[in-house]
């Protein structure tokens, strides 16, 4: 399962082997200074994800599409790139960024969504090292 990591001044999403194949990348990252909000979504059901991003035909038609969604090419309503890795309809951490980041948002499922969100919030409230 994908996971968030705070590394110095960056927020990194590391992917497992299956996610790497779907996303065509090992990880993605963005600067902590670009984060505008961090929240926990109680559900990543398709309807909840569709409110945030457009996944495109390939992601929606993929095998296991209702179980696993890896969307490195997802887009927000205003056309900015979004990074999405969700499983079933469990909790997820939603991190939104300002325009200086490569992503408008990152949405990643997590069994520890509350703890992950707290960690990211703590990292952005600390002065830079």
pLDDT single digits (tens) 6-40: 898 999 988 777 766 666 767 788 999 999 999 99
* Contacts (Cβ under 8 Å, ≥6 apart) of 17: none
Tokens 């990194």, located at residue: 12
Give residue 63's pLDDT.
47
Which residue numbers in the chain have pLDDT < 70?
A: 1, 19-23, 25, 45-48, 54-73, 126-129
Whole-angstrom Cα distance, residue 109 to residue 91? 6
- Dihedral of CA atoms 3, 90, 92, 67 in degrees, nearest 10, equals 60
Give residue 101's pLDDT.
93
Give residue 58's pLDDT.
46
Rounded to a whole number of angstroms, the CA Rg of the chain reads: 14
Give residue 72's pLDDT.
59
Whole-angstrom Cα distance, residue 75 to residue 105? 9
Give residue 82's pLDDT.
86
């Amino acid at each position: 399962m994908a996971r968030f990591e705070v590394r110095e001044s960056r927020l990194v999403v590391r992917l497992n082997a299956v996610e790497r194949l779907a996303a065509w990348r090992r990880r993605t990252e963005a600067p902590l200074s670009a984060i505008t909000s961090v929240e926990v979504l109680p559900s990543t059901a398709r309807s909840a994800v569709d409110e945030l991003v457009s996944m495109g035909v390939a992601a929606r038609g993929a095998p296991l599409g209702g179980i696993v969604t890896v969307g490195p090419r997802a887009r927000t309503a205003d056309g900015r790139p979004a990074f999405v890795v969700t499983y079933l309809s469990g909790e997820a951490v939603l991190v939104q960024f300002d325009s200086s980041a490569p992503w408008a948002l990152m949405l990643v499922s997590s069994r520890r969504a509350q703890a992950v969100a707290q960690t990211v919030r703590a990292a952005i409230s600390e002065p830079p090292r």
